[in-house]
Amino acid sequence: MPISSLKRLMLCLAAPFGLALAADAHAQQVEGIAAIVNDQPITTYEVRDRMRFILTTSGVQPTEEVLAQVQEQALRSLVEESLQLQTAQEYEVPITEEEVDEAIADIAARNGVTVADIQADLESAGASIDTMRQQLRAEIAWSYLVSGRYRSRIRVSDAQIEGALERLAESASQTQYRVAEIQVNLPASGDEADAERRITAIYRALEQGAPFPAVAQQFSDAPTAASGGDAGWLSAAQVRPQVAQVLQQMPVGSISNPVRVPGGYMIVALADRREGQVTEQFTLQQVTLVSSQITPERRQALERAASRAQGCSNVPAAFERVPEAIITDIGTVGANALVPQIRSALSGLEDGQASPVLETAAGLQVFILCERRLGGPGLPGSSEIESQIVNQQLSLLARRWLRDLRNSATVEMVGDF
């Protein structure tokens, strides 16, 4: 952000609170109170400091319209963080400064800068790194609280994982979209005007050249806000129908108009598009009796062993009575990489079963099917699916808990906000 913009920013930020901007100790002593959360004050200095932080990290230019929205966002964030940290104190969840240091170092590494660079950028904008530390401290505390309160209650069954995999495999055969998103929820009052003001400010920031990920991180209500709005590769079946209709018509590199969805609005950016490519994947073990070692007796022994094979964990034991048999762990291969003869032999097998004895160029061969699944670009494995389901449920429970804390808290806004 240029210096001239910073000077205008500092002048603008003074107006909403009727106080001159200054970062010295005396200025902080005369600061007013912006809000009181369960008897804990949030000062106007903290709100302005958070506003500078939001503007610096999002790259948004401080127009009058944007400042009004940034002020609201800053105050909302500080209220929520206050509730999170108060709850952490109630449950005696300790957050060390070393953890906060590590979080800042991780942010710096992911952005290809140093911690000193981050601090210098904030200071040049008149913001303190303390506001960043406060935000991270609340995020760390909240993640501990949510995990401790809910993680042990979440059970993900094999049926859930298999169902999710089937749905993903089906959708992965369709056109896929690399999507980033900004979600603007309607307030509890259902005030459309408030949402429209936020949306206008978001588009104004994007028009001024602010990066979509930075704007999403500061302004989006979606769980993906923490990752800059990145929702990954999705098919039309994985997004809301209203959004799917828009994605199918968007050119790569474009940003949508606001899309009305239940509970609010979505703004999506289409980073890339690809056609789905799903193939059947086989995890196999192979037993081979090379041509020079084949005898009628060994052929019969191989056939008997194949009929007894049950699973991949006992293949050596199942075929130990087949002299000169060579056992090979093939690993996972796509169906399109197998010759038709082998692919056909595997088609009717259940996991753990062995194929009939096949005559191939190598001699006599038996293939044991360890696992069959669908695979393709963007299709995760079972463990990833389980993590996704857990994280989705934790995110939902976290939002509900924070809403309940907000509803039960005594929050008094002081002055005209």
- Taking only the tens place, the pLDDT of each residue in 370-383 is 988 776 655 667 78
Of the two residues 169 and 411, the one the predictor is more confident about is 411
Domain spanning 3-151, CATH architecture: Orthogonal Bundle (1.10)
- CATH 3.10.50.40: which residues of the chain? 174-275, 279-375
Q: Are 240 and 256 in contact (CB under 8 A)?
A: no
pLDDT one-digit tens code per residue, 186-201:
876 667 888 888 898 8
Average pLDDT, the chain: 84
What is the rounded CA–CA span in Å between residue 358 and residue 342? 8
CA distances in angstroms from 200 to 211, 260, 417, listed in the order given = 16, 14, 18
pLDDT at 254: 95
Residue 160: count other Cβ atoms within 10 Å of its Cβ.
13
Sorted by sequence, the CB contacts under 8 Å of residue 176 that are 6+ apart come out as: 233, 234, 235, 273, 274, 275, 276, 377, 378
pLDDT one-digit tens code per residue, 24-50:
334 444 568 999 999 999 999 999 999
Is the pLDDT at 8 greater than 50? The verdict is no
- Mean pLDDT check: name the lowest of 74-88, 120-134, 160-174: 160-174
Q: Nearest CA to 277 among 377, 183, 354?
A: 377
Which whole number is the average pLDDT over 136-163? 90
- CATH 1.10.4030.10: which residues of the chain? 3-151
Is the pLDDT at 227 greater than 70? The verdict is yes
pLDDT one-digit tens code per residue, 352-371:
999 999 999 889 999 999 98
pLDDT at 100: 94
Is domain 174-275 given the CATH code 3.10.50.40 in the classification? yes
pLDDT at 14: 33
Is the pLDDT at 2 greater than 60? The verdict is no
Q: Are 265 and 259 in contact (CB under 8 A)?
A: yes
Which whole number is the average pLDDT over 168-190? 80
| CATH tag, 279-375 | 3.10.50.40
Q: What percent of the chain has pLDDT over 70?
A: 87
pLDDT at 158: 85
What is the rounded CA–CA span in Å between residue 228 and residue 135? 16
What is the rounded CA–CA span in Å between residue 384 and residue 397? 20
Structure token digits, residue 31: 């600061």
Which whole number is the average pLDDT over 256-265? 92
Task: Tell if the pTM clears 0.75, that is, is over it.
Answer: no
